[in-house]
Amino acid sequence: MNSLDIYSIDSLPDMSNNLMDWLVLMPEIFMLLATSTILMIGLFAGRKDELLTYILSLATLLVMIFLLVAANKYNDSILFDGMYVIDGLANFIKILVCITVIAVFVYARPYLLNRNFAKPEFYILGLFATLGMLIMASAQNFITIYLGLELLSLCLYALVAYVRDSNNASEAAIKYFVLGAIASGMLLYGMSIVYGITGTLNLSEISLYLANQNDVNIGLIFALTFIVIGVAFKFGAVPFHMWVPDVYQGAPTAVTLFIATAPKFAAFVMAIRLLSDGLQPLHIDWQQMLIILAVLSLIFGNVIAIAQTHIKRMLAYSTISHIGFVLLGLLSGESFGYASALFYTAVYVLMAAGTFAILLLLKNDSSNLYEDVDKLSDFKGLSQSHPWLAFLMLLLMFSMAGVPLTVGFYAKLYVLQSLVYNDFIWLAVLAVVMSIVGAFYYLRVIKYMYFDEIEDTLTSQNAPIATAVLSINGLLIVGLFIFPNYLLNYCVSVFG
Amino acid sequence: MLSSLPILSTLIWLPIIGGLLVLVAKKISVSSVRWLSLLIAIATFLVSIVLTKGFDSSQHTMQFYEQIAWIEVFNIYYALGVDGIAVPLILLTTVMTILVIIAGWEISKERIAEYFAAFLILEGLMIGVFCALDAILFYIFFEGMLIPMFLIIGIWGGPRRVYATIKFFLYTFFGSVFLLIALIYLYLHAGTFEIAALQLTTLDQTQQLLLFLAFFIAFAVKIPMWPVHTWLPDAHVEAPTGGSVILAAIMLKVGGYGFLRFSIPITPYASSQLAYLIIAISLIAIVYIGYVALAQRDMKKLIAYSSIAHMGFVTLGFFVIYKLTLANSSYSELALQGGMVQMISHGFISGAMFLCVGVLYDRMHSRQIADYGGVVNTMPKFATFFVIFAMANAGLPGTSGFVGEFMVILASFKANVWIAFLAATTLILGAAYTLWMIKRVVFGSVANDEVAKLKDINSREFFCLFVLTILVLWIGLWPAPLIEMMDASVTNLLNQAHQTNLP
């Protein structure tokens, strides 16, 4: 094992090391093979194909979690000439992604079945997207990052258009695809300039090269700008947020749930790999860019969300504002801030998953299959017709607002602490003032559910498993408030 | 022996867990919900009596101390303890909660379990505020209180409840986020969230001024002080009776308590520098808000404004100590004690006044003064109570309302005659707005048919008002036990107040 730990990049890899590399890569290889197999099985399974794909997909993800936990002992290995890295961060993100995707599949199925949207493709695309995220989590080279990113993005574009008869979804997919392609182009352009200057695509070598440079290289700053734009687009930070509301609203809610959750981990880890692992020496420069992105995201996200009457669109803007908080954590450029951003991302995904799951479990009596439960006014009197769902929603909304007694409070507290620690008190003040603005539209949801008389009769899907998972998800908001140590310590430890 | 049991944790968690149980009891029957809630509230009260019995008032240190490491990454401890300032407030909380539950006995049966559960959980959180020794733990309770109150006003409130409750939430949320940033800043400066350690931290002048302002925003909104008081009349008017009672009797006190725990001991230099500002604002509250109260047509609004004016005495008492020389330190003590007595007394009196209005509202569904007149003819027992509380509200000697105000006025007389002069106008204004309201509502001939049909209070309502009458008169006639209980802590606070904490 020792040879793995001190794997040196410039020495020619011999065969035995390569074999070890493949071994360490087991989880990803398994995932690829399993997904391809499920694809084939789904094709030939006949009428039961959807159920079979669903069960096999869940099984694959469960095995993945097991493999990833087992792979923890290969921590800090660098594979394939520095293309791929297995470290605590990568493993943690991968495990979180797999858990999230399991929850997404469980939440999505009753909705898909109810509308006759249930097809094996949903799970297959989801699994390939997951593989893309896993690759991104471990990427240590521009090429690998790009590979993972495109695998993820292409699956997401297809997922948005998954219900092909829906005009809204098709429109959203086209917007997402065009804007996403531009962003990928920007990212590639930035990467190519960095390659031109440093002569390498490997992140640690780039970092080494930059650390030895004494004077500022304008070309590098130029390239950095494009890379940050690429990252900002994937996060959905203002002013690269245009796709977020349209895609969130246009896509079927099940797909929105997917986009709103797991890929945030991927975006986070991509930012860490690019900015921290690769371009840390340019910290001063990208810090300023992130400040602008974060401030704009906080202000625009929160203020525009107030004007929304549709909950998916409101949640889209709320996501933008949460991304602002994640960026606030990232911009400090040191492990304290990174850990706070990771914790924030994890908490955010937990909240977003629960919120969209509630939307999925409810159905209105509209005959139009493509019309989801989306209007805020649909929620009127929900506390009377569905007290438990309304209570979970209440917890989620307070958590998103960052009120104590919910874990959302710690997420904000942690980021604020990192800001004050790094002498960005003005940013901390701005962040809390904007979260007061944000509190308004979260409270409004509660107002509809609890203070208004019942109007529309929303019914809920009969989905015991999804409801059970949702209950755990919702109660975790309070559970993690009382016992946050495990998650917090893990977030700290991966940044050592 | 007593101090080895986690009494404070029991006080916090018993009502919270009890509140959750009440939600479960909903499945059984309405009466089980009522009796279980009452049982839990009484049990909590008994525990608080045990706390008072075991409390050693000759010590100023924190007693019934409990500490568990809670969140390692943030260095937050679950640390609880009480001193002579906290114990009376905890007693106030447990007493008022019982009365609120009894007063809410007949509330709409549909959501009665949720109603009682909200009050019980709120009780646990409020007690938590008064016990917390860790700044973030304090903040968590301080903010967490908003959730049940938000729901109480929003669900069971009047016609404009949505506006009122969102305004209430956002206003107080706005204030407290600055407290949060101040606490984080202090943590990075001192390396701990322990309030006692923060009180020993040295801070330079700018730091103190900025921190003081952050604390000030949080607590001034909560108390509330002029000019950030506008949420209070709205919240009170729209809240259900129980919500108004708890809001006025206890939640406002949290602001005053915050001044004593954070502003004065942690930033004494800034407190002394800005004392004139607080005194000025307090006097504005006393005089100007007194006039505003005079103009009200809605009984609840009138009492809400009178609350603001009375809380002005609390802040005046707390900060007038900086205008007294060290030679007059016995007067400083008097001022602090006066502020504290005023908090407790206002808790009982305002709670009682809101209960009285609730009694009328339950029968007539109106809070407008103009809709009433001659209530004494149809409700003689009720009228007796209402007049007693009105007298107490006006500061009649012999009632608790007099003691606190008198102590504060006496102390401010030593500091500056004009401060005392302006503060003393409350004796006129308070009497004017309260008694004028009484005159229009209670006395005179029967105003209309509906008043003629009124039924006098039942034994349940009689009990609530009777208990409060005893308490108001007790503190009015014999405040010594209360003052004794907080004596050592107040002396200690005064010492802290006259440090500078400058490097």
What is the separation of C-alpha B201 from the centre of its chain, rounded to a whole number of angstroms?
A: 29
Q: What is the pLDDT of residue A3?
A: 41
B136 touches chain A (CB under 8 A): yes
Q: Which of A298, A451, A453, A494 is the best mutation test for B, with the most CBs of B within 10 A?
A: A451
B1 touches chain A (CB under 8 A): no
B147 touches chain A (CB under 8 A): yes
Q: Which pair of structure tokens corresponds to residue A149?
A: 């990113």
For chains A and B, CB pairs below 8 A equal 88
* Biggest CA-to-CA distance, chain B: 71
> Out of B144, B174, B178, whose CB is closest to A404?
B144
Using DSSP, state whether B6 is helix, strand or coil.
coil
CB contact under 8 A, A410 and B169: no
For residues A6 and A16, give the distance between their C-alpha atoms in angstroms, rounded to a whole number.
Answer: 14
Q: How far is CA B331 from CA A246, B371, B399, B401, B420, in A?
A: 67, 46, 22, 19, 13
Sign, CA torsion A241/A246/A251/A252: positive
Chain A residue at shortest CA distance from B210: A425
β-sheet bridge partners, residue B71: B76
B143 touches chain A (CB under 8 A): yes
pLDDT band at A370 (very low <50, low <70, confident <90, very high): low
CB contact under 8 A, B177 and A432: yes
For residues B121 and B246, give the distance between their C-alpha atoms in angstroms, rounded to a whole number.
Answer: 12
Q: Could you say which residues from 174 to 193 on chain B have a Cβ atom under 8 Å away from some Cβ of chain A? A: 174, 177-178, 180-181, 184-185, 187-188
Q: What is the pLDDT of residue A325?
A: 93
Query: Which chain A residues are closer than 8 Å to B174 by Cβ?
Result: 433, 436
Pick from A306, A314, A343: nearest CA to A434? A306
A186: phi then psi, degrees, rounded to nearest 5? -60, -45
DSSP assignment of A322-346: HHHHHHHHHTT-SHHHHHHHHHHHH
User: Minimum mean pLDDT among A315-329, A371-385, B191-205, B311-325: which range?
Assistant: A371-385
Q: What is the pLDDT of residue B324?
A: 80
DSSP assignment of A63-81: HHHHHHHHHGGG-SEEETT
For residues A1 and A77, give the distance between their C-alpha atoms in angstroms, rounded to a whole number.
Answer: 10
Q: Which pair of structure tokens corresponds to residue B143?
A: 């903010």
CB contact under 8 A, A446 and B154: yes
User: What letter does residue A47 receive in the DSSP assignment?
Assistant: G
B193: phi then psi, degrees, rounded to nearest 5? -105, 5
Q: What is the pLDDT of residue A16?
A: 54
* Min Cα separation B189/chain A (Å): 9
Pick from A105, A107, A123, A119: nearest CA to A35? A123
CB contact under 8 A, B177 and A433: yes
Q: Which of A419, A450, A481, A495 is the best mutation test for B, with the most CBs of B within 10 A?
A: A450
Q: Report the alpha-carbon angle A129-A130-A131, nearest 5.
A: 90
Q: How far is CA B125 from CA A287, B8, B94, B451, in A?
A: 40, 12, 12, 40
* Min Cα separation B252/chain A (Å): 19
* Min Cα separation A344/chain B (Å): 14
CB contact under 8 A, B169 and A439: yes
* Contact (Cβ atoms closer than 8 angstroms) between residue A274 and residue A229: no
CB contact under 8 A, B177 and A485: no
Q: Name every residue whose Cβ is closer than 8 Å to that of residue A117 and which is 6 or more positions away in sequence.
A: A111, A162, A163, A252, A254, A369
Q: What is the pLDDT of residue A8?
A: 46
pLDDT at A19 over 70: yes
DSSP assignment of A404-466: TTSTHHHHHHHHHHHHHHTT-HHHHHHHHHHHHHHHHHHHHHHIIIIISPP-S--EE---HHH
B326 touches chain A (CB under 8 A): no
DSSP assignment of B252-295: HHHHHHHIIIIIHHHSHHHHHHHHHHHHHHHHHHHHHHHHHHHT
Query: Which chain A residues are closer than 8 Å to B134 by Cβ?
Result: none
Amino acid letter at A157? Y
Q: What is the 3-state secondary structure (H, E, C) of B203-234?
A: CCHHHHHHHHHHHHHHHHHHCCCCCCCCHHHH
For residues A185 and A114, give the distance between their C-alpha atoms in angstroms, rounded to a whole number.
Answer: 39
What is the separation of C-alpha B150 from the centre of its chain, rounded to a whole number of angstroms?
A: 17
pLDDT at A2 over 80: no
* Min Cα separation A451/chain B (Å): 5
A3: phi then psi, degrees, rounded to nearest 5? -65, -30
CB contact under 8 A, B154 and A413: no
Pick from A181, A303, A176, A309: nearest CA to A248? A176
Q: What is the ipTM score, two decimals?
A: 0.90
* Min Cα separation B280/chain A (Å): 28
For residues B87 and B51, give the distance between their C-alpha atoms in angstroms, rounded to a whole number.
Answer: 8
DSSP assignment of A215-241: S--HHHHHHHHHHHHHHHHHHT-TTS-
Q: Which pair of structure tokens corresponds to residue B38?
A: 């009452």
Using DSSP, state whether B324 is helix, strand or coil.
coil
CB contact under 8 A, B173 and A428: no
B37 touches chain A (CB under 8 A): no
* Contact (Cβ atoms closer than 8 angstroms) between residue B118 and residue B148: yes
Chain A residue at shortest CA distance from B72: A485
Q: Residue B382: is it exposed, middle or buried by C-beta count within 10 angstroms (0-12/13-18/19+)?
A: buried
For B445-472, give one letter per residue: b (16+ CB within 10 A) or e: ebbeeebeebeebeeebeebbebbbebb
Position of tokens 């604020």?
A: A416
Q: Report the alpha-carbon angle A222-A226-A227, nearest 5.
A: 110
Position of tokens 């352009």?
A: A189
Query: Which chain A residues are closer than 8 Å to B155 by Cβ?
Result: 450-451
CB contact under 8 A, A451 and B155: yes
Q: Which of B184, B186, B213 is the best mutation test for A, with the most CBs of A within 10 A?
A: B184
> Out of A413, A420, A485, whose CB is closest to B188?
A420
For residues B79 and A62, give the distance between their C-alpha atoms in angstroms, rounded to a whole number.
Answer: 40
User: Minimum mean pLDDT among A196-210, A450-464, B39-53, B111-125: which range?
Assistant: A450-464
Question: Cis peptide before B481, with omega less than 30 degrees from 0?
Answer: no
Query: Which chain A residues are closer than 8 Å to B146 by Cβ?
Result: 403
CB contact under 8 A, A489 and B147: no
Residues of chain B with pLDDT under 70: 1-4, 108-109
* Min Cα separation B369/chain A (Å): 28
* Min Cα separation A156/chain B (Å): 36
* Contact (Cβ atoms closer than 8 angstroms) between residue B383 and residue B451: no
Q: Name every residue whose Cβ is closer than 8 Å to that of residue B11 and which is 6 or more positions away in sequence.
A: B44, B47, B48, B51, B90, B94, B124, B127, B131
B146 touches chain A (CB under 8 A): yes
Chain B residue at shortest CA distance from A439: B170
Question: Cis peptide before A239, with omega less than 30 degrees from 0?
Answer: yes
Q: What is the pLDDT of residue B72?
A: 84
pLDDT in tens, B177-205: 899 999 999 998 888 888 888 888 888 88
Q: What is the pLDDT of residue A357?
A: 92
For A23-56, give one letter per residue: b (16+ CB within 10 A) or e: ebbebbeebbebbeebbeebeebeeebbebbbeb
CB contact under 8 A, B177 and A436: yes
CB contact under 8 A, B188 and A421: yes
Pick from A248, A280, A278, A276: nearest CA to A261? A248
Q: Name every residue whose Cβ is closer than 8 Å to that of residue A55 and which is 6 or more positions away in sequence.
A: none
Q: Which of B70, B73, B141 is the best mutation test for A, with the most CBs of A within 10 A?
A: B73
> Out of A417, A447, A484, whose CB is closest to B162?
A447
Question: Residue ranges of the domains in chain A?
Answer: 27-494
For residues B432 and B425, give the distance between their C-alpha atoms in angstroms, rounded to a whole number.
Answer: 10
Chain B residue at shortest CA distance from A433: B174
B170 touches chain A (CB under 8 A): yes
Q: What is the Cα Rg of chain B in Å? A: 22
Amino acid letter at A63? V
CB contact under 8 A, B180 and A413: yes
What is the rounded average pLDDT for all residues in chain A?
87
B445: phi then psi, degrees, rounded to nearest 5? -85, 160
Residues of A with CB under 8 A from a CB of B: 398, 403-405, 409-410, 413-414, 416-417, 420-421, 425, 428-429, 432-433, 435-436, 439-440, 443-444, 446-447, 450-451, 484-485, 488-489, 492
> Out of B146, B155, B181, whose CB is closest to A432?
B181
Amino acid letter at B469? T
* Min Cα separation B158/chain A (Å): 11
Q: Which pair of structure tokens corresponds to residue B411?
A: 């102390």
B280 touches chain A (CB under 8 A): no
CB contact under 8 A, B184 and A413: yes
